Every structure is written in C-alpha cells, then in structure tokens.
Structure 1
Amino acid sequence: MTFKDFDFKEKLQKSIFDAGFKEPSPIQRDAIPVILSGKDIVGQAHTGTGKTAAFGLPLINMLDGNGSVEAVVIVPTRELAMQVSDELFRFAKNLSINTATVYGGQSYSRQLKHIDNAGIIVATPGRFLDLLRDEKIKIAPKFVVLDEADEMLDMGFLDDIKEIFTFMPKERQTLLFSATMPSAIKALAKSILIEPEFITITQSEITNSKITQTFYVVEEHERDDALIRLYDFKNPEKSIIFCRTKKEVDRLSTFLVSQGFSAKGLHGDMEQRQREEVINSFKKGKLEILIATDVAARGLDVNDVSHVFNYHLPFDSESYVHRIGRTGRAGKDGMAVSIVTPHEFRMIKKIQSDTGGKLEAKVIPNISSVKEKKTNSLKSKICEQKVYDSGVNLVESLSEEYDLETIAHKLASLLTNDTYVKGNNNIGKSQNDIEKLLKRSREDNGKANRRGSGNFRDRNNNNRRRNPSGNRRQSRRG
C-alpha cells in the first residue's frame, strides 16, 4: 500500500511526496480511511508511530481552505505543539492553508494575529482555554483532535479538556489519540465522541521492529565508563540519552562535554527560550547528543536520531516505549541501548513481557575491539578519499625533506590519534557472568512464584487479623 491509494488531493499528494513519505505506517493505514469517511475515532498508538500524519493528512484533505479556523489540534506540551504545527504546515502549504501555534509564555496579540490567518490551530490546553473563556477567539471548527490524551491526563489537564469541549460546536468530527487507555480517558472518549471507531496498534507493533534493542550489564560505578566506551564503539550520528532526574541530566551533560562530546541537557527547570534553543540545535545537527528526562522529552520529534541510550532504565514499560520511539523513525533503522545493573533484571523482564520486544544482552567491547573498529573505519575513509590538488601539493612539499614511506607513516600516525580508546580494558560483566545472572534471576523468580501461590491464603488470613476492618490502609491514604 502507498499514500496514492488514499486518493488525496493532487497538491496534498505533492506535499507527501516532497516529505519523502512512501508507505503508510500501521496507524496511518488503519486510521486515514476511517477519518476520510467522517467517523469519530479513538486511536491507540505510541509516540513515533506516525500519528500526526494519520490525522493531519485526512483533515487537510477535507478542509475547504476558506480562511477560517476549520480544525483544532490539542496537545500536552509547547514542544509538541510546535512540532505538530510544523508538520501540518509542511503538508498544507501547497493548499495555502496556514497553521497557528497557541501556547503559554508567548504574546497574546501575536498568537491572535496568526489565528486570524489560520485554517488549523495547534494548541496546549491552558492557553487555548484562556482564549475561549475571555472570548478572544470565537471559532466553530469542523474537526477537533486530542493528541497524547493520556499525557494530558497525567499533567492534570482533564478538567481543562472537558471545559474546552463546551465551547466546541456539537456538529464536528472528533479524533482522540492516546498511547494507553486508562479509565479516565475511556470516560472522556465516551463523553465527547459519537459512536467512535477504535483503532489499536497490536502489541507486536508497540515497539518498532526496525529498532534493535540491547542491554549491557555493569556495576553501578561503571555507568559513565560504559557509556563512553559504547559511544566510542558505536559512534552514533545523533543520539538521545535518557536519565531519571534533572540533577543526573546536568551532571552527565557536564561530564560528556569534558570528554570532548557536543552535548547539552534538556529538563523542566530550564527556561522556555533555553529549551527551544537546545531542541533547535539538536534538530539542525549542531549537537550530537541530547541528554533528557522523560518529562522534558515529551513530544520531541526528530527523524534522524540513530541511537537512544537509557543511562538508567525508566520506572515503567510505557516510558521505555516512549523513549526508544525517538529512534527508528521514517522507515529508518534505530538502536536502543540500555545500561543496567544486576538489580534491574526484573525490570528488563517486565519490559520484554509488556512490549513483546526482545532485548538482547551484550558485552561491552574491550579496548582492542574498539581500536579495531576505529581502524577499519579509518581504512575505509582513506580508500574512499578522493585525491585533490591540495593533497598532492602537500606531499610534494614534504618529499623535499622526507621519502614517501616516512611521509605515509607520519600522516597515518596523525590520523590514528583518533583511534585512541580511554578507560579500563574490560568494563561491565562478561557473557558468562551475564548468563549466570540471568539464570539466577529466573530461579529466584520461580521460587518467588511458588512461595506466593503457597502462602496466598495464609497472608490473607494474617491481613484480616491485623486489619479486621479491611479499610484502615485505604482510609489512611485518604
């Protein structure tokens, strides 16, 4: 199947071709025909599955382009608002349909001016609701999209969303996208959608099959050394490192810069201007490494990220899926690399179980392996290098003082400086160590399961004796 099969308008088809889109992703393949038919939908799909095009392309195809706001897309964060707006504008520009981006921290007058000329508004809930309450805008969109609905729920926007829909016309087509479907999102869908069609990406498609997932086992104090060694060996073009805390982001970004890497951190304590500067630098290739927390990376959409590194594993499988979804985009291959300690094996197993993906245990390369790879890469570059006049002139100049063999040795020595590898020869666990740890983990898990099933009744009886009312713990929480 190709995008031509959707029979989009010719100018929209040109935008799709210019963007390099060829085959639709699963969510695009399933959602686009339903949206074009005019039905409300609930789409369950994770970040990186092509949701923006899944709702954006059919909406743009159905817009009249009459100069008024015909579609509203509501997203959880400023970063996502800007990225969704950019992508929709890229698709709609040949049809002369403009987008306006609405979020807090920006001038009202400037945003209102953009809305006057827009066919599509992409907005965060807070600022959009302010504009509606204060009657700064009066719009009657035919299409309303909620993107990353579960993120908005987690960020406390549920009441805002409900109020926003009191300002929306009853006659509309509503599309809701969410990575997960907690009860609150199901209830919201029931209240704002009319007989929606449900589209769900199956578990086998939750993690992109083009993403190779590996993990390396180290002791806690070896994390930094392991990260540097893996960067030396894998030599990623553009990568994101995920940390659990803002403090860890700051420390790691300082450390990597001290090691000669072009790296910057991204977290919630940064001013919006700083955040935008970092993201733009990363997108334009001025930065090779972005270090971020899960919250800061929400909505981050960069197509050419070759590697994602988990400096620490996240606390849940869903965050893991969101993290690794930053690579392997637009049909490209991606690498997801996790640095773990033996204590984190349980989380590895949970991630595998929840996502249906396979995380392969690997050994961190030693110095000779890294040097060999760097040398082979250098050889390839030399073989592929074209000979220019400047090079010929340099050799001729040097040949007045040295013979050709000595010149070659000197130039090779200069080039091989880059093959130097820092750190201890061996970092982390060996393959044999990893196999023993995995075996022990399986045995411990089996014992725990047997103990759990055997003592379930006894534990229940003990709980009743200690907590006869059955609700003391609950009331204490309340």
Structure 2
Amino acid sequence: MGFARPFPIQEASIPFILQGHDVIGQAHTGTGKTAAFCLPVLSRLKNNGPVQFLILVPTRELAVQVTHEIIKYSKYTSIRVVSIFGGVSIGQQQSRLERGAQVVVATPGRLIDHLKRGTIELDKVSHVVLDEADRLLDMGFIDDIRFILFYISEKHQTCLFSATMPPEILRLAEEYMTNPKQVLLNEEEISLDTIDQSYLITQERQKFKHLCELIKNESKKQMIIFAATKQRTHRLANDLKDAGFNAISIHGDLSQKQREVAMYRFKTAKEDILVATDIAARGIDIPAVSHVVNYDVPEDPLMYFHRIGRTARAGGTGKAVSLVSVERVDDFQRIINRTEQPIRKLNFELGIEVPVYEGRNNRPSFSRGRSYRPSNGYRDRRENQYGQRKYNNEMSGSRYRERGESRYNNQKRYNRGSHQRSF
C-alpha cells in the first residue's frame, strides 16, 4: 500500500481505534488519515452481513476517494463497500445496497434520502467516522448528522477526523462521543513544512497576467488553481484555454458525470491545470500535483490550509503561491499569522512593485442601479436607472423627523389604511 512507516496520525490513533475507544483526530489532508481510521475498523468487521461501518463525508469527490481507498485496503477480503452521494441514480445505489454491503461511504443529504425511502438500515452499524468534520459543519450538515445518528444503535464507536478543530467540533464530540481519545496537533503545526509557500501582492486586473507567467515558468507541472466562485472558476478556466494552456474546471454547477470526466482528465494528465472552488476540490488526492495557486484569497483563513494540502501529498513536496489583490492584503496577513512556516513575498524576488491601496473612499464606485456615487464621500444628489433624482438619507428623512415620526411609521399607517379601505 506504499507505507514504509506509519504517519504520526496513524501511529497515534490506530491503537486507540483497535481498543474500541472513540477518537478525535486532527490531521492534514494527505497524511494517511484515511488509512488511520479504515485499517483498524476493517480488521474488526465481519465479511458478510448488514452495514457495520458508516463514513460520512462532505462532498461527492471525497466519497469517491475514500471508497477507492477502502476497496484497496479490503482487496483480499469479501467486504463490500458502497458509496452514496447525490448527482447519480438513487436506484443504482439501492441495487448495490440490496446486493449487500458492510461499509457505506456517504454524503449526509443522499443518505437521508435512502433512510426516508427505507432502502438502507443502520441499526447494526458499530463504527461511525465523520471525515473532514470541520467541512461537514461549515456546509451546514449538523442537523443532518443528528438525524442520521438517531438511526444508529447507541452502542457504537465514533471517530471524528478534521484538519482543524474549531469549538463547534469539540461541542459535537461532547454531545455524541464517550470519553474520546484526542490526537490533536497545535494549530501552528497545521501547515506542512514540505510546502514552499509564497505570495505576490498585485492589482486585481494584473492577476491573470502574473498567473500566466507563473504557469509558463512551471511548465508541464500539474497545478490546482482555487477561485472564489463557480462563475469565476468557469471563466478563469476558459481564459487559460484561450491563452493556450490545458485547463479544465470543476465546480458545483457541473453534473456528477461532468465532474468525473474533469477529474479523470486531470488525473491522467490530459489536462495540466484544474481550476476549482473550495467545495468541489474536497477529496482531490493526486500525488502528481506539484503546485497550488490561490487565485483568490479564501474568506476563511483555515481554508488556506485545506487548499495547500492538495500538494505535498503523503510526505512529498510542493509549492503554494497566492495572488493577493491589494484590497485583500489584510486578509492574507491573518493567514500568515496562523502559521509558523515562512511565506515568502515574491514582489522583491520578481522585481514587481507593491501597489498602494488607496482605500474605497478614494475611488468612484457604482451601485446596482448604475447610479454614480461621487468619490468625495458626499452623496448630495444622484439619478437612478430611471433618470429619477434621489437625495441622500439626511435630506429625504428630514421632513419626517420634523414631525416626530419616521418614514417607515408613516408607510405602515398608509398601508394599514389602504388595507381597511379594500374591504
């Protein structure tokens, strides 16, 4: 299986799992986490019978990855594994469940669909794993998890694995786990020292130019580029294609088939560049990925560590480069403060001048209605999209304040009177 020696998370957690303890494990992606909870549990399962082992994951891609790992680990047994997630036929999944499975890897939403249909029973489950629990909670699955755990017998082992340990995770553990053994890293150790991290401060409009230069300098290397939104991901991949690069995108608007095709083309090196959103990239485990590029700084500093964990898999090395628009420098500084690993500033190395952020109030901005907002900060008068004049809030509200009332109270009285007249 490629393990010369156990990774720290495996060495620390496997004995506890074999002894039947509940376990809270903190580990980076790509550090053998899946093997840490799968190998000891698989060794305790019966080779036939009902579902005994349930693994909950946040995304389809991670479900596929974990399923493939379990198939590899259980190759010389008769244990069957079924993956359950949305975007594919629920009838096909039902057929596989009817043929018998001892292990189920599932996303919460589709698993609940099966529970409501009565196509799966969980009362014989003896082992439950919440994989990437921080993302499960971030994506709003906490109520779904509670719903699912209600169908499982009280006597079962629960293991929770996560790259980060926010307070919500520990509260969940307190609610559903019994005297769990904790295998935790310090937050400062989250970032792997095998990743060469750097960043470039630039104007937003210059990002694409710098990205193309980076790709040219690292030719024939597989790269994952993270963008903020689905639309931005799709557009960036198309722009890279127009610039002559082999790029493909993966995001939530694609069908399951399209996502699988995109991942296959990237894994088989038919495409050198994968442009992805944070959620769609969960579960990507491709050792050949040498570079991760943050085209947009993540809103959550901890998401930065999830992103760069796509490279330097299983003890390898990799590079992570962040293109930081001048407006997001403060946000990126919070990321720098969360890690003790050095993050190099590339502006000096590349001879690129650091742009000066003049602030929002020193430049024109436009509202949705195309109404111009003067840059001097005084919005005395402007026109909306219909050519109607609008005045600032102080002027428009003054006549109500003189009468000791607000615009909103006046409007309510008018609406109430109209309501009475209509009957």
Answer yes or no: same fold by TM over 0.5: yes
Equivalent position of 2:143 in the other structure: 159
How far apart in 2 are the matches of 1:61 and 1:173?
14
Answer with 280-289 or 132-141: which moved more. 132-141
- Find out whether 1:62 has 2:20 as its counterpart: no
- Find out whether 1:50 has 2:32 as its counterpart: yes
Alignment of 1:451-470 (within 5 A): none
How far apart in 2 are the matches of 1:182 and 1:349?
20
SS at match of 1:213: strand
| 8 Å CA contact retained: 2:201, 2:329 | no
Match of 1:300 among 258, 265, 284: 284
SS at match of 2:150: coil
If each structure's strand is expressed as a fraction of its own residues, which one has the higher value?
2
Of all paired residues, the percent bearing the same amino acid is 42
Q: CA deviation at 1:67?
A: 4.1
Equivalent position of 1:360 in the other structure: 344
1:363-401 Cα offsets, whole Å, 9 max, x none, are: 4887xxxxxxxxxxxxxxxxxxxxxxxxxxxxxxxxxxx
Match of 1:337 among 316, 321, 336: 321
- Find out whether 1:279 has 2:263 as its counterpart: yes
Match of 2:10 among 18, 24, 28: 28
- Describe the shift of the 1:358–1:212 C-alpha distance in structure 2 as closer, same or farther (beyond 3 A): same
Equivalent position of 1:137 in the other structure: 120
How many residue pairs get aligned? The number is: 355
How far apart in 2 are the matches of 1:317 and 1:236?
30
Structure 1: where are the runs of 5+ without partners? 1-18, 367-425, 438-478
Match of 2:173 among 189, 211, 223: 189
Equivalent position of 1:254 in the other structure: 238
- Describe the shift of the 1:361–1:28 C-alpha distance in structure 2 as closer, same or farther (beyond 3 A): same
| 8 Å CA contact retained: 1:216, 1:364 | no
How far apart in 1 are the matches of 2:109 and 2:235?
32
- The AA in structure 1 aligned to 2:23 is I
SS at match of 1:111: helix
Q: CA deviation at 1:187?
A: 2.7
Q: CA deviation at 1:184?
A: 3.5
How far apart in 1 are the matches of 2:39 and 2:57?
17
Q: CA deviation at 1:204?
A: 4.2
How far apart in 2 are the matches of 1:128 and 1:253?
33
Equivalent position of 1:96 in the other structure: 78
Equivalent position of 2:200 in the other structure: 216
SS at match of 2:46: coil
- Find out whether 1:114 has 2:84 as its counterpart: no
Equivalent position of 1:328 in the other structure: 312
Q: CA deviation at 1:342?
A: 4.0
- The AA in structure 2 aligned to 1:213 is Q
| 8 Å CA contact retained: 1:214, 1:338 | yes
Equivalent position of 1:168 in the other structure: 152
1:377-435 Cα offsets, whole Å, 9 max, x none, are: xxxxxxxxxxxxxxxxxxxxxxxxxxxxxxxxxxxxxxxxxxxxxxxxx7x32xxx59x
SS at match of 1:229: helix
Q: CA deviation at 1:279?
A: 1.4
How far apart in 2 are the matches of 1:141 and 1:364?
57
SS at match of 1:96: coil
| 8 Å CA contact retained: 1:308, 1:335 | yes
| 8 Å CA contact retained: 1:213, 1:359 | yes
How far apart in 2 are the matches of 1:173 and 1:298?
25
Equivalent position of 1:128 in the other structure: 111
Answer with 211-220 or 77-86: which moved more. 211-220
Structure 2: where are the runs of 5+ without partners? 357-423
- Describe the shift of the 1:202–1:26 C-alpha distance in structure 2 as closer, same or farther (beyond 3 A): farther
Moved over 6 A (4+): none
How far apart in 1 are the matches of 2:230 and 2:88?
25
Equivalent position of 2:333 in the other structure: 349
- Describe the shift of the 1:124–1:144 C-alpha distance in structure 2 as closer, same or farther (beyond 3 A): same
| 8 Å CA contact retained: 2:188, 2:338 | no
| 8 Å CA contact retained: 1:102, 1:127 | yes
Equivalent position of 1:409 in the other structure: none
- The AA in structure 2 aligned to 1:258 is D
How far apart in 1 are the matches of 2:243 and 2:54?
45
Q: CA deviation at 1:357?
A: 2.2
1:201-253 Cα offsets, whole Å, 9 max, x none, are: 22343111111101123333221111111111122521101111222212211
How far apart in 2 are the matches of 1:205 and 1:221?
34
- The AA in structure 2 aligned to 1:264 is I
| 8 Å CA contact retained: 2:86, 2:109 | yes
- The AA in structure 2 aligned to 1:252 is L
- Describe the shift of the 1:45–1:331 C-alpha distance in structure 2 as closer, same or farther (beyond 3 A): closer
SS at match of 1:190: helix
1:325-362 Cα offsets, whole Å, 9 max, x none, are: 00000221110011224443323321121122210112
1:175-210 Cα offsets, whole Å, 9 max, x none, are: 112233344332321222111111112234311111
SS at match of 2:334: helix
How far apart in 1 are the matches of 2:228 and 2:121?
42
SS at match of 1:62: coil
Answer with 43-52 or 116-125: which moved more. 43-52
| 8 Å CA contact retained: 1:59, 1:143 | yes
Equivalent position of 2:376 in the other structure: none
